[in-house]
Every structure is written in C-alpha cells, then in structure tokens.
Amino acid sequence: MGLIKNLYRGYRWGPDFKQAQLLSFVIGEQVLQLNLPTTIYSGIEQPHQPIYAINDPDWFSKHAKQDRQHFYVHLVSKIWHYGNTIPLPIPGIDNSVGKINFTGAIKQLSTNGAFDTYDLTHLGQLEAYIRESHFWAKPEKGKGWRGSNTKLKQKCIEEYPPRGFAEPFDSLEAYIEWMINVHGYPSINPEVKDVGGKRFAFYVEGQGKSQTDRVYCLPIHKEYYLWLRFRHDLETASEKVRKAALVAEERILSEMSIGELLPEQRDVLEG
C-alpha cells in the first residue's frame, strides 16, 4: 500500500504526521505547543531549552543570535526532505529532490516605540523595516550581508550602461532595480494571513531564487513575537511536491497552540 500511495501522490518521504511529536515551550506565563512531524533525516527530539524567561529584562540580550538581518532566540529547527527514490540515511549523501527547513524563534520588538507588536500590520512593517535597514545600510567589513543592496547599487552606478545585454536598460534606476531583484534583496510585502483560526503577519522572501522563505509572525507579549520560518528549497521538485509542502506548512500552523500556562504544566516541564 505504501508503494502505491507514493506512486499516486508523486513523491516519497516528506513530513510524516503519523510520527509527529508534541513539543512544549514555556514562554513567560504562556505555553507554546508545536506538533512537528519527523522524516528519516529528522528524528524526534526534545527542545534543548523548554523554558524562556521573557519577563527578565536581560533575557533576550543574553540568548539572542543573529542570522543575516534577524536577531532572535532560537526555539526549534526541523528539516523535512522529499524524494522519488529509497532514502539513503548516510551522512554526506542526499538523494532528495528538495526539503523544507523550519525554524521557530522569539524576536523582540524594536525599542524605538514606532511599532505595536499586537498590531499585525505594524508587525509586518517592522519586519520590512528591519530588512530594509540591514540590506541598505552602509557596508561594513566583516558584517556579512549587511549593506548588500548598497554595494550592488554602487556597482550599477560605476558600470552603467552595462554591456552584454540584448536590450539596453531604459535608465540607471531600471538597471539598479533589476540588479537588486536578481542578485540582491528586494523589498517584502507583508500581509495579514489567517491560518487555522490564528492571524499572523506574513511575508515571503526570495521568490524566484532557489530558496523561498515563508515567514509567519505572531504576537505573544508587548515586547516579543513568535517568528516562524518555513524555508522551501524545492527548485527541482515537482508541482505535487510543492503543493504538498504548502499543505504540511498549513497543518503545522493549524495544529500549533499557545495559551496560559497552568501550574501543573509548569511542574511537569520543570521536572
């Protein structure tokens, strides 16, 4: 039956919700629960740090890490692979046709007071502002991608009009826009999205590139919000796999819950 099912749906592996595990995280006075499935490459594991003391004013600065423009405290990561053949669970050998990389984290509201974390439109604008501020900043040596768009713009100015194109660009501005869209980090367009009875600030990064990030932000505190990123690395995957990945993403969000922490739950989690 398994072989017939795989042939019908057009792919193997993927998130296996029959082997999912409910993970719990205490965040201040709330408990977040994520029902995360497994694959042959992604076994069941417990969170490394199930309690997050967001009411401590120094907590975020002590535990935050940076990933490009994002500063966050990590909660959990999972990778789900899709394939067309028998999987090979051998280190260094990946015969999948694509994967979803999920990261759950906590981000802090900007301290400048310009944004309201409970206003989803403001929350989306905050993510857009963080992105623009990072990639259009003045480049600094050793700062990775910081200022990437600024460097590309300067390159366009220096080499305009460019050679090697079948049709010339109408203007320098058009050339800069093309360069940022193809080789840089174009602006995002956040929106408010409903999934499983929950409302998120949502946006997509990297459309047209090999990886696409689908990001969901959910307010949990006046200063903090959940940041949930599904990175779809499915450039060579079939349309069936792409659709299945979106269905799995929506199911994970629909089954996610966050609510008030009960005393008995704290006792269990604290051991």
Q: What is the pLDDT of residues 95-110, one digit of tens each?
A: 567 889 999 999 998 6
Q: Is residue 14 part of a domain?
A: yes
What average pLDDT does this structure show over 8-33?
A: 79
User: What would the two tokens of residue 128 be?
Assistant: 């857009």
Mean model confidence pLDDT for the chain: 83
pLDDT of residue 270: 58
Q: Lowest mean pLDDT: which of 34-48, 76-90, 146-160?
A: 34-48
The Cα–Cα gap between 140 and 148 comes to 10
Structural domain includes residue 48: yes
Residue 139, domain member (yes or no): no
95 part of a folded domain = yes
Q: Is the pLDDT of residue 76 over 70?
A: yes
- pLDDT at position 182 over 80: yes
**Which helix or strand (DSSP H or E) is residue 95 part of?**
none
Concatenate the DSSP letters of all residues of 169-234 into one string.
-S-HHHHHHHHHHHHS-PPP--EEEEETTEEEEEEEE-TTSS-EEEEEEEE-SSSEEEEEEEEEE-
Note the pLDDT of residue 98: 85
Structure tokens at 151: 């460097």
Tokens 């501020």 belong to which residue? 133
Please say if the pLDDT value at position 191 is more than 80: yes
Percent of all residues in the chain with a pLDDT value above 70, rounded to a whole number: 80
Is the predicted pLDDT of residue 240 greater than 50, yes or no?
A: yes
Q: Does residue 38 lie in a domain region?
A: yes
- Tell whether 196 is covered by a domain: yes
Report the C-alpha gap between 14 and 195 in whole angstroms. Answer: 21
Is residue 82 very low, low, confident or very high in pLDDT (cuts 50, 70, 90)?
Answer: confident
Q: Domain range holding 94? A: 2-110+190-269
Q: Please indicate whether residue 115 or residue 134 has the higher confidence score (pLDDT).
A: 134
pLDDT at 5: 44
Lowest average pLDDT, out of 39-48, 152-161, 248-257, goes to 39-48
CATH code (residue 7) = 3.40.1000
As given in the structure block, the two tokens for residue 113 are 């007071």
CB neighbours of residue 106 within 10 Å:
24
pLDDT score at 167: 84
User: Confidence class of residue 11 from pLDDT cuts 50, 70 and 90?
Assistant: very low
Q: Quick one: average pLDDT of 13-31? A: 87
Residue 10 has pLDDT above 50, yes or no: no
Element (H, E) at 134: helix 120-135
Is residue 28 in a domain?
yes
Q: Does a structural domain hold residue 119?
A: no
CA-nearest of 53, 48, 46 to 22 is 46
Residue 1's Cα: distance from chain center in Å? 34
pLDDT at residue 154 is higher than 90:
yes
Phi, psi of 112 (to 5 degrees): -80, -5
Tell me if 218 sits within 8 A of 256, measured CB to CB: no
What is the number of structural domains in the chain?
Answer: 1
Q: Tell me the pLDDT band of 6, cut-offs 50, 70 and 90.
A: very low
Residue of higher predicted confidence among 5 and 254: 254
